[in-house]
A and B are shown apart, each in its own frame.
Chain A
Amino acid sequence: MQRTFFRTTALGLALFGNLQAQTDFTKDVQPIFAKSCYGCHGAKKQMGGLRLDSKTLAFAGGQSGKSIQPANAAESTLYQRVAGIGDQARMPMGGKLDAEQIATIRKWIDQGAAWPDGAGTEVTAIKKHWAFIPPQRPAAPAVSNPRWVVNPIDSFILARLDKEGLQPSPEADRVTLLRRVSLDLIGLPPTIAEVDAFVKDKSKHAYEKQVDRLLQSPHYGERWGRHWLDAARYADSDGYEKDKIRQVWAYRDWVIKAFNRDLPYSQFVIEQLAGDLLPNPTQDQRVATGFLRNSMINEEGGVDPEQFRMEAMFDRIDAIGKSVLGVTIQCAQCHNHKFDPLTQEEYYKIFAFLNNSHEANIPVYTPDEQRMRSDLFRRIKEIESDVQHRSPDWQTRMAAWEAQVKTGQPEWTVLKPAVDDISNGGQKYIPAKDGSMLAQGYAPTKHRVKMTVKTDVQNITAFQLELLNDPNLPMGGPGRSLKGTGALTEFEVEAASADAPEKITKIKFSKATADINLPETVLDPMFNDKTDKRRVTGPIEFAIDGKDETAWGIDAGPGLRNQPRKAVFTAETPISNPKGTILIFYLKQNHGGWNSDDNQNHNLGRMRLSLTTAANAEADPLPKNVREMLSIPADQRTQAQTQSVFAYWRTTVPEWKEANTTIAGLWKQHPEGSVQLVMQAREDPRETHILTRGDFLQPAKQVNPGVPSFLNPLPVDAPVNRLTFARWLVDRQAPTTARALVNRMWQNYFGIGLVSTSEDLGKQSEAPSHPEVLDWLAVEFMERGWSMKAVHRLIVTSATYKQSSKVIPDLYTRDPYNRLLARGPRFRVEAEIVRDIALSASGLLNPKVGGPSVNPPAPEFLFLPPSSYGPKVWIESKGDERYRRALYTFRYRSIPYPMLQTFDAPNGDISCVRRSRSNTPLQALTTLNEPMFLESARALALRTLLEGGKNDEQRIAYAVRRCLSRKPTASETAELTNLLTKETQHFEGSNTKPWELATADPAKPPALPKGTTPAQLAGWTAVSRVLLNLDETITKE
């Protein structure tokens, strides 16, 4: 109401006030611009690409088009925006012009918008923001001390220090340097032996050798992969309320491996955005697209899956913006970007590239499993060849069989029933064009869905239920369980004449047939419903036996379970109603577990109902793909197709029973594999629309895929698809891609990026501290084949990096953040490395790389209500697995692992390219009291007694070196000796329990070195605990 009122008033005044006088631009209009517009549309800022202090640029307009249409104020966006006409935000932001000013502007435009030459500035082009111009290699400047310079990074840094009248710091000592570069490159401190070797190495390239060694370590990928995983918002659960476990560690391992083999960053990005679209993509390339799938998934009850697919799409674009482009693009989801020249339409053009994919879930196999599989397939093929060899006429016989089974299939009429909203238990049944329905959203573990349809078909004899694959189901379905299986507890049909819908009769079935009838099997523990009932799956009869404990099951075992299936239910008497029949289907699916908030559903995934009038209809025993191949003439089939037909046919031939049994036995050895969320292109593309205010219920104009005009253009001849988009991101002309990455690498070394706002290099970013370093590194990066290891080598071998990190008092006051880099970096290490250092110092660390995430000790209550929404699974890892590097710790988004969260690890809700670095009492409590830190202290104590030397002084030096790499000073040794003596004496006293401190299970104490006492071990445990809690221990100096 209020808005209309103002609008009318403004308009009224414009129309009727002050009609005749001629406006004078400089006297009447320009002052308004200067006072109210220049702030955002002047020399400093050009929001929306508009500048109003220059005649040329004012008439050129901005992103919203021409702002001034002379003699037509009504059509001029300038007038519309100040008068509050139309949907766009009213200008000026944060305060309106008064009615008289608005009238003045209107009059001035209507009178022809005369703007005398020379009024305003003479600028004729808006200067392009530095980051949007592709980087050029800057020449290295002259410096005061060329001998200090190792590579051009140092020239740029020193030139700046020269200008400021500052000196670089001396090089750090060797021990500090090796610890620094080890923590930086592999995230682990050096061993004592490594330190000694380096200190002793007098060769010229001693340091470079260490750098090479570290870059070749498999732990390099863990260290730098983790940074990328922050940007890729990696987590092991879905997020939102249910926050169910997801298996995506294959993606995490792909990242680690990609870093280790120094996959060029360009390829690294391409595979993550479009690996599935590369020619003959490998499993790894498909797994890489998990990057896009790390978005959260909401399967709480009552969600509209499309709404949350859209949220996931927004999240993907945000992740690409932060991690690859280094430009904030998500603002343009709702409106044109205010600061960067990105329009809302351009945002949705990017969106369109990503919008044509299935949210797919595929089985994946480790290299060992892949070997097992190819071995298995080879052996099966050998047996089949042998059978063929021994029956030379097999082709003729198969043709005869084909002729026999080819015809005689009943005709099925597909039904498109309506699903009852209450009976679906919160699960959405999404209809497709082919009449099938895809189960999505919340997955109840027990429900009986009701579906109703009216048909005019008479003499209905049987119903068919097809279970179909779908890329969006776990492992492709056809069920919704973690393995893509489902179970049909009961299939029920009721019928009524269309003219008497209340008179419902239950249909009795004379028989049921299916293309798979497995023996009776007790349910897998994952479907435990906490009842005492013996719940089983088995043949199709179980679906019409009226028993809640039995169900039709389709789990044919690994490698075979994810196939389409069908069942046919024959009515005792055919159904006819002259006015048509209302059919009510009930698909009871009660074979899930007790907890709908976990992955315990056992539902059907994609299903289709049909009916027939044929007599004696039965389920077609032929698999769907074989049936389809039969329609291809035998001589036109590929070898693989012939083989598939044969593979089915042979199972029907009695004389090959032995071979068939052997092959069936081989299939049982097929590995289970794991799953991975991936992108998979849809054959049926979606239309993309601009969404008004980002609301998926308000689609506006349709848009085609495209890229923002302020960035490099798309290649001309390439197909417009996700792959081309990915290649465009890493084009040599892409202005921000290389800069964004090298800036983040710099940030991870020096604590702060060359551009401190590393998630955004756009116009609102902070100016780079050393623009030349940024550009030089970006160009080097690209020209060295996008090799990340090459950039690491440049940085860590620079004199800049090798400086001592001691704080210089004067300098501190002047440059508290060390932006000028007159000293080396000194920072507390990241969360994961805090733990890794403790494990490594104590010798407990299990250095295994990759594999499923692990569950080190955590307080149980965290995973139970009311701390967690639903009860979550956290089965503490045993043995070595609890000592894995912290990056393998299982990550629930809603219940972050406390130790990691306390030390600022992000939880993966959204992409994060810059972590906080806090220093809090909760961190102190963690390193003092958390069980893994105590375990580490105990292990370090025992190891010190075993290996640390002959006397306490040697042992103290040993323990200190395991934590700090350096040797202790005399006063440090004195302090630690003092503590050791005091605590050992204490534990030697009566009424003390040294084992309680010194070991996890005092009933089973470890063997002590000869001549040592439990009190000594307790004393050493106290000392070790102190060492693990030192600031320096968890700091890169």
Chain B
Amino acid sequence: MNMKPNQIARRWFMEQCGVGLGAMALGHLCGVKGLASDNPLAPKQPHFAPKAKNIIFLFMAGAPSHLEMFDYKPQLAKFDGTLPPADLLKGYRAAFINPNSKLLGPKFKFAKYGQSGAELSELLPHLAKVVDDISIVKSMTTDAFNHAPGQILMNTGSQLFGRPSMGSWVTYGLGSESQDLPAFVVTSSGKKGPSGGNSCWGSGFLPTVYQGVQFRGSGDPVLYLSNPPGVDNELQRNSLDSIKKLNQMRLDVTGDPEIATRINSFEMAFRMQTSAPELMDLAKEPKHILEMYGAEPGKPSFANNCLMARRLVERGVRYVQLFHEAWDQHGNLVKDIKQNCIDTDQACAALVQDLKQRGMLKDTLVVWGGEFGRTPMVQGGNDGRDHHPNAFTMWMAGGGIKPGITLGETDELGFNVVKDKVHVHDLHATILQLLGFDHKKLTYRFQGRDFRLTDVHGNVVPQLLA
């Protein structure tokens, strides 16, 4: 095989359809050794046929109270104002309160909904309408009870910073199906940003191409997407044409295929300049869809982000994660959680419903939940709860999840899980399973060790699989 540099380059150019081979020599997926020619974002097949092709994770940062929303505890109401049993607190650490604080009864009414008869509080009237499409897990448990470590654990499988996020693991495993949008997109809404910061969607020790890209609900959806002042589309196109020609000339001289990748990156950037604003233009949605979500074009909100999540998935984005940080009700529980549910309930339900009516729910997994739960004990006067890692609730829908079930139980106070415990690692194992991965085999060699999202833990939860 005797080729001139420019021939090699051309061949490269043909083979390369996406982004960077910079992250070379790094592919250890499924034992296939990476070649320099590997585009790290080329679409890949998982270990077995997936149930879910996409995932939308509605991350409720700050930790919503399971006791006010999902996990009805009449006994907690009965024992309101009394101290919890002493042996329940043995070895228990709380973030702010003395664990030996009085119990606080649930603040809202519960009822059963749908054919499945799932129990939900009055805070969730919209979710109640799609309750037969979702699967509620009341038996979640985690290891951390401070926000940043808890969020990092939920998002990366470790309380220690520096590990890849679930979204980056999935992107590493599946690659990208979108030619003009990133494979892993993140949005933020609510009162604050997530406590875990950028590391919640970071790539850790995985190549940086796998990290999440933040999209914003107003202004430029992606940083530096718009042409700078004085540059119109024609000048941008002319400039890109020149850049391409000059890069091509250099490619012919040096033969370095990395230049071909650079040419592609610029072309994809240009495409993104058109596709991302189009994606963000919610005004294009019919009125009834906007109303269904409660979305208002141009006014950033969680509802807008939910609608955008659907649009992203439609355009081939694999992993969409919405951060909504608003749930840390140490005080003002009643007022704040009510408002949070007004802000989110309708859009969450609409997302499930909308995906379903478009036939997308079957291969799109929706996950809802925060980093931990809240104490059955009161914090402050009578209107707040502290952080609680032992038990909390999440729900999932679509993408191979068995619909209309409620899994797991907590004790009479909602303090500990007593049946079908699902640890964060088990949740991760299950999500990977739905995406077609054996969580034990989706590994990456770093520091002489094969790392995985679930580290040395995790069991798939079979009851959740359809």
Is the Cβ of B239 less than 8 Å from the Cβ of A1026? yes
Which residue in A240, A895, A929, A972 is a CB contact (below 8 Å) of B228? A929
Distance of A817 Cα from B40 Cα, bound (Å): 15
Q: Is the CB of B97 within 8 A of A422?
A: yes
A861 engages B194 (CB within 8 Å): no
A934 at interface, CB cutoff 8 A: yes
Interface secondary structure of A, over-half rule: loop
Q: Which residue from B8, B97, B192 sits with its C-beta under 8 Å from A869? A: B192
CB <8 Å contact, B258 and A826 = yes
Q: Which of A269-277, A663-671, A978-986 contacts B (4 or more CB under 8 A)?
A: A978-986
Nearest-neighbor residue (CB-CB) of A1030 within chain B: B246
Residues of B with C-beta under 8 A to A636: none
For residue B380, CB closer than 8 A to chain A, the reply is: yes
For residue A239, which residue of chain B has the nearest CB? B161
Task: Tell whether B418 is near chain A: CB-to-CB under 8 Å.
Answer: no
Contact with A along B201-241 (1 / 0, CB 8 A): 01100011100011010010011111111110011101100
Residue B265 CB within 8 A of the other chain: yes
Q: Check A893/B192 contact, CB under 8 A, given A421-B98, A1031-B258.
A: no
Question: Which A residues from 910 to 934 make CB contacts under 8 A with B?
Answer: 910, 916-926, 928-931, 934
A243 to B199, CA, bound (A): 12
Give Cα A311–Cα B161 distance, bound, in whole angstroms: 10
A1022 touches B235 (CB 8 A): yes
With beta carbons under 8 angstroms apart, the residue of B22, B225, B230, B250 that contacts A996 is B230
User: Hey, what's the 0/1 contact readout for B1-13 against A, CB within 8 Å counting as 1?
Assistant: 1111101100000
With a CB–CB cut-off of 8 A, which chain B residues contact A301?
95-96, 330
Q: In the complex the two chains form, is B7's CB within 8 Å of A916's CB?
A: no
Docked Cα-Cα span, A828 to B22, in Å, equals: 9
Min CB distance A179 to B, Å, is 14
Closest to B145 in A: A302
**Cβ-based interface call for A813 (8 A):** yes
Check if A969 sits within 8 Å of B231, measured CB to CB: no
- B266–A764 touching, CB < 8 Å: no
Instruction: Tell me whether A311 and B160 are in contact (CB under 8 A).
Output: yes
Contact between A240 and B148, CB atoms less than 8 A apart: yes
The interface residues of chain A lying within 8 Å CB-to-CB of B37 are 816
Cα(A262)–Cα(B459), bound, Å:
53
Kindly list chain A residues whose C-beta atoms are within 8 Å of the C-beta of B7: 809
* Inter-subunit contact A328/B146 (CB<8 Å): no
Among A752-771, those with CB < 8 Å from B are 752, 756-757, 759-760, 762-765
Given contacts A422-B379, A893-B197, A996-B230, is CB(A813)–CB(B265) below 8 Å? no
Contact for B197 among A805, A894, A1025, CB less than 8 A: A894
State whether the Cβ of A988 lies closer than 8 Å to any Cβ in chain B: no
A919 cross-chain contacts in B, Cβ below 8 A:
19-22, 258, 261-262, 265
Nearest to B151 among chain A residues (CB) is: A241
B377 CB → nearest A CB, Å: 12
The interface size bin for chain B is 35 or more
User: Please, how many angstroms separate the alpha-carbon atoms of A243 and B246 in the complex?
Assistant: 43
Give A330 to B34 CA distance when docked, in angstroms.
27
B259 with A1031: CB separation less than 8 A: yes
Given A809-B8, A865-B192, A866-B192: A426 touches B35 (CB 8 Å cut-off): no
Residues in A whose Cβ lies below 8 Å from that of B213: 922
Set of chain A residues within 8 Å of B380, measured between Cβ atoms: 422
Contact with B along A218-259 (1 / 0, CB 8 A): 000000000000000000000111010000000000000000
Q: Are A934's CB and B21's CB within 8 A?
A: no
CB distance from B300 to the nearest CB of A (A): 8
CB of A25 within 8 Å of the partner chain: no
- Interface flag for A997 (CB, 8 Å): yes
Chain B residues whose CB sits within 8 angstroms of the CB of A240 once the complex forms:
148-149, 195-197
Q: Which residues of B contact A894 (CB under 8 A)?
A: 193, 196-199
Does A359 make an interface contact (CB < 8 A)? no
Contact between B242 and A759 (Cβ–Cβ < 8 Å)? no
With A422-B380, A816-B36, A929-B224 as contacts: A924 and B23 at CB distance below 8 Å: no
Which of B149, B199, B448 contacts A298 (CB under 8 A)?
B149
A260 to B246: give the CA distance in the assembly, Å: 38
Contact with A along B170-197 (1 / 0, CB 8 A): 0000000000001000001111111111
Q: CB of A411 within 8 A of chain B?
A: no
Asked whether any CB of chain A lies closer than 8 Å to the CB of B49, the reply is no
Q: Does A85 reach chain B (CB closer than 8 Å)?
A: no
Interface check A870, CB cutoff 8 A: yes
0/1 interface trace, chain B 425-452, chain A, CB 8 Å (1 if under): 0000000000000000000011111000
Q: Are B188 and A866 in contact (CB under 8 A)?
A: yes
Q: Which of B24, B149, B224 contacts A926 (CB 8 A)?
A: B224
A241 touches B229 (CB 8 A): no
A575 close to B (CB within 8 Å): no
B228 CB, min distance to chain A CBs, angstroms: 4
Contact of A896 with B238 in the complex, beta carbons under 8 Å = no
A263 interface contact, C-beta 8 A: no
A391, B236: Cα distance in complex, Å? 82
Minimum CB distance partner of A806 in chain B: B254
Chain A residue contacts of B238, Cβ below 8 A: 979, 982-983, 1022
Interface residues of A in 773-806 (CB under 8 A from B): 805-806
> In the complex, what's the smallest C-beta–C-beta distance from B169 to chain A, in angstroms?
15
**Cross-chain contact A861 with B216 (CB below 8 angstroms):** yes
User: A373 to nearest B CB, angstroms?
Assistant: 38
Contact status B161-A328, CB under 8 Å:
no
Whether A975 sits at the interface, judged by CB under 8 Å, is: yes
Q: Does the CB pair A993–B22 fall under 8 Å?
A: no
Q: Is the CB of B208 within 8 A of A918?
A: yes
Q: How far is the CA of A760 from the CA of B445 in the complex (A)?
A: 11
> Which B residues are in CB contact (< 8 Å) with A87?
none
A631 interface residue, CB < 8 Å from B?
no
Which of A331, A907, A1032 is within 8 Å of B202, CB to CB?
A907
| Contact across chains for A1031 and B250 when beta carbons are under 8 A apart | yes
Judged by a CB distance under 8 angstroms, whether B323 is at the interface is yes
Q: Check: A868 CB closer than 8 A to any chain B CB.
A: yes
B223 and A925 contacting across the interface, CB-CB below 8 Å: yes
Is B53 part of the contact surface with A, judged by Cβ < 8 Å? Answer: no
CB pair B243 A302 closer than 8 Å: no
Residues of B within 8 A of A697 (CB): 93
A164 within 8 A of B: no
Nearest Cβ distance between residue B33 and chain A, in whole angstroms?
A: 11
Tell me if B345 is interfacial: C-beta within 8 Å of chain A. no
Q: Does B316 contact A (CB under 8 A)?
A: no
B268 contacts partner chain A, Cβ-Cβ < 8 Å? yes
**Are B269 and A928 touching (Cβ within 8 A)?**
yes
- Asked if B96 and A975 make an inter-chain contact with CB atoms under 8 angstroms apart, the answer reads no
B66 at the interface (CB under 8 A from A): no
A82 within 8 A of B: no
Q: Quick check: A895 and B198 within 8 Å, CB to CB?
A: yes
Whether B277 sits at the interface, judged by CB under 8 Å, is no
Q: Contact between B223 and A859 (Cβ–Cβ < 8 Å)?
A: yes
Measured in the bound complex, the distance between the Cα atoms of B229 and A978 in whole Å is 22
Contact of B249 with A921 in the complex, beta carbons under 8 Å: no
B226 surroundings in chain A (CB, below 8 A): 929
B255 CB, min distance to chain A CBs, angstroms: 4
Scoring B207, B229, B242 by chain A CB atoms within 10 A of each residue's CB, the highest score goes to B242
B69 CB–A CB distance under 8 Å: no
Measured CB to CB, the nearest residue on chain B to A894 is B197
Nearest chain A residue, comparing its CB with the CB of B97: A421
Q: How far is the CB of A1001 from chain B (nearest CB, A)?
A: 10
Q: Which 4 A-B pairs have the closest CB atoms?
A: A894-B197, A302-B95, A997-B230, A764-B448
**Apart from A340-B448, A925-B224, A1032-B247: 7 A-B pairs, beta carbons within 8 A:** A298-B148, A806-B255, A910-B161, A928-B269, A975-B246, A997-B230, A1030-B247
**Which B residues are within 8 Å of any A CB, using their own CB?**
1-5, 7-8, 19-25, 35-37, 40, 93-98, 145-149, 159-162, 182, 188-199, 202-203, 207-209, 213-214, 216, 219, 222-231, 234-236, 238-239, 242-243, 245-247, 249-250, 253-259, 261-263, 265-266, 268-269, 272-273, 323, 325, 330, 379-380, 386-387, 445-449
- Give 12 CB contacts A-B under 8 Å: A241-B197, A243-B197, A301-B95, A328-B448, A328-B449, A764-B448, A806-B255, A866-B189, A917-B23, A922-B222, A975-B249, A986-B234
